[in-house]
Structures are given as structure tokens and as C-alpha cells.
Amino acid sequence: MGKKVITFGEIMLRLSTPDYARIIQSTHFDATYGGGEANVAVSLAQLGIGAAHVTRFPDNELGKSATNLLRKYGVDTQHIRYGGDRLGIYFLETGASVRASKVIYDRSHSAFAGLEPDMIDWDEVFAGADWFHWTGITPAISAGAAACCAKAIDVANRKGLTVSADINYRKNLWQYGKTAGEVMPGLIAGCDIIVSGKGDARDILGITAKKPEGNELASVYSQIMERFPKVRKILNTTRGSVSASHNTLSGMLWNGREMLETQTYEMNPIIDRIGGGDAFMAGFIYGQLAYGDDQKALDFGVAASVLKHTIREDANLATVEEVEALLAGNTSGRLVR
């Protein structure tokens, strides 16, 4: 397609219990790598969009292995930096039926947390790029990561890139002396498109619905746009949980005038829900670049996320043809030969 998207964020070693086992009973783990923004890059690469990921790894075998995983899926890794002491880890216990999934993080003092703004030449990174994507996890990790993110957004704005962010709030990550309310507004101000739920708007921006009896989400999103004039689209997904193995999913987008919505999908059984939101964002970015139509992009994003729930590990490996087949109503899962 000739388009290029840059993503920026931490990648961690993922250690998952096999066959739905509990952590306390497991004698071994399945190992892979993942991170919200990198998941977007991998998903976009599978959809035929040029994607590069910027991060920092320790200069050891784990860092090289994580880099190789990105390369395997067609992600440009030339702007990755190496240094620091360790790679962050997260442990995943996959739930089933009435038992919820569980995640334990071990990411303190990671190589990514040691990033400083002068380590990355964003003018070089953004050469020939069309889009920059980040999430609220990155500025929560450390003051240096937050400063890098701010610098990236400034350069992306100067170069005319579309800037998107999933502003997801992770309370336990903000441990370096700044709150999300102090850091995030300045970053959101440089965005064109954001993903936000009512909880994110409340916890980060202190924004709640003015008219609870009406469309609460439209009220919240209108206030966000009033506060941040550059933001022109706000989107989110709604998940219904029947059980850990059976969810529903739909999406919505506020463009300042109307709320666009998608159909609601049933997902049963769920194979792996980690990265579902990243698959949605990647699908939406693809839809914006390929179709230039908000409704088509939103529909594509939700369908991509639904397919991700059938794929193990963090990133969505669905193709454009598979997403379009789902959009066309092909939900039978019949053998393709």
C-alpha cells in the first residue's frame, strides 16, 4: 500500500502456563514476546502495511530473540536501541469458563524504563512515515519514557503524521512521582485519534458525563474534544463477558457529530484474548489508510479483534482476506482447501 506506521513502547517476555494450567501447578511455561504497541505493528505488517517498532532491549540473547520475533513477522527493527539491565516479564494464567485469566508483572528497572529522550532521533525514525501510534502504558513506565513519548509526538506533529493513542490507564504503573493526570493531558493534546473508555476519561482527565440520562459516552467524548481541539476521532470497544471463554464484542466511534457503531460479535470459545485491543487498533488504522472511511475502518477493526481472540500469543496474525470474509458474514469456520 506504500503507507508506513511507527509504534513506540515496551516489549516484555511473556511466560504462559500451558493448557489452561494454574501458575501454582505449572512446572514449565510457554515463552514468547509481546507489548501493546508492538502488537499493533505486527498486526499491521500481516495486513500489508509497512510497520516499524521503536523500543529498547537489553543487549543480550533475550533482547536479540525479541528482535528476531518482530523481524519474523515483517516489522522493521532498525530503530531499536540496546542497553540497560533486563527485559520485563509478564506471567499469564489463561482462565476458562467461570475462572478468570490472571496476569503477574515483573517489569521494574527494565531496559525500556531506562530510556532517555536523546537516545532516539525521531526525525530519522519518522522519515517517510505516515502514522505514529503510542499507548498510555509508555509514559507510565518512567520519566524518561514519558519524555521520549512527548518528544516523539512533537516531531510527529511537526512532520504532519497522524498521531493515535490508546490512552489506557494502568494505575499500578505510575510509580516515578508523576500521576497520569499530570503527564497524559500534554501528550493527548498532540493526538488526532484516541481510544478511550469512560473510565480512562474519568481517571486520567477527570471528565464524566454531564447528562447521565442521555448518551453518556457522547457527553464524555464531546468534552474531550472541547478540551483537546486536535482530537477529531475517539473510539472504543464494548466487551460483554458471559464467561472467560465466551465474550461479545462491538465498537463505537465519535467523530464530533455522531456515534458510529458496529454489529456485536459472539466469541466462543476464546483461545487468547491478550492483544485484542491492539488488534482492534491495528485494524482501524488499516481501515483508515485503505478505505478512508470511518465506518468501514471501525467495522474492520472490530472484526480484526474478533479474529485475534482465535489466535494464540499477543499479536493478531489475521490477513485482510480473513477479516473481510468475517465482515461478509463468514462465521462458520469451515475448512478452507
Average pLDDT over residues 217-232: 97
Tally of CB atoms within 10 A around 264 = 12
DSSP output for 185-202: HHHHTT-SEEE--HHHII
| 57/66 Cα distance (integer angstroms) | 8
**22 part of a folded domain:** yes
> Which pLDDT score, from 0 to 100, does residue 210 have?
82
- Inform me whether the pLDDT recorded for 211 exceeds 80: no
C-alpha dihedral (49, 283, 88, 125), degrees to nearest 10: 30
Do strands 131-135 and 4-8 pair parallel, antiparallel, or not at all (unpaired)? parallel
**331 part of a folded domain:** no
Instruction: pLDDT band for 333, please (50, 70, 90 cuts).
Output: confident
Average pLDDT over residues 184-197: 98
> Which pLDDT score, from 0 to 100, does residue 195 have?
98
Q: What is the pTM of this model?
A: 0.95
- Inform me whether the pLDDT recorded for 212 exceeds 90: no
In angstroms, what CA-CA distances link 283 with 85, 101, 131, 159, 179? 34, 25, 14, 24, 30
Instruction: pLDDT band for 213, please (50, 70, 90 cuts).
Output: low
Compute the mean pLDDT over every residue in the chain, rounded to the nearest whole number.
95
- Inform me whether the pLDDT recorded for 9 exceeds 90: yes
Question: How do residues 14-34 score in pLDDT, each as one tens digit?
Answer: 999 999 999 999 999 999 999
User: Cβ distance 268 to 242 under 8 Å?
Assistant: yes
**337 part of a folded domain:** no
**333 part of a folded domain:** no
In angstroms, what CA-CA distances link 138 with 134, 152, 188? 7, 12, 13
> Which pLDDT score, from 0 to 100, does residue 336 have?
67
CATH number of the domain to which 100 belongs: 3.40.1190.20
Question: How do residues 120-176 score in pLDDT, each as one tens digit?
Answer: 999 999 999 999 999 999 999 999 999 999 999 999 999 999 999 999 998 889 999
**114 part of a folded domain:** yes
User: Cβ distance 313 to 324 under 8 Å?
Assistant: no
**93 part of a folded domain:** yes
> Which pLDDT score, from 0 to 100, does residue 128 have?
97
> Before 58, cis peptide (omega within 30)?
no
Average pLDDT over residues 218-241: 97
> Which pLDDT score, from 0 to 100, does residue 49 have?
98
Phi/psi at 209 (nearest 5 deg)? -65, 135
SS3 content of the chain, % helix, strand, coil (to 5): 40, 25, 40
Question: How do residues 66-81 score in pLDDT, each as one tens digit?
Answer: 999 999 999 999 999 9
**Secondary structure letter of residue 204 according to DSSP:** I
User: Cβ distance 53 to 5 under 8 Å?
Assistant: no
**336 part of a folded domain:** no
> Which pLDDT score, from 0 to 100, does residue 122 have?
98
Tally of CB atoms within 10 A around 158 = 11
- Inform me whether the pLDDT recorded for 241 exceeds 70: yes
> Which pLDDT score, from 0 to 100, does residue 214 have?
61
**334 part of a folded domain:** no
Work out how many domains the chain is built from and give that number: 1
Instruction: Determine the residue type at 177.
Output: G
> Which pLDDT score, from 0 to 100, does residue 335 have?
58
State the residue range of the domain holding 62: 4-325
Closest CA to 5 of 53, 65, 39: 53
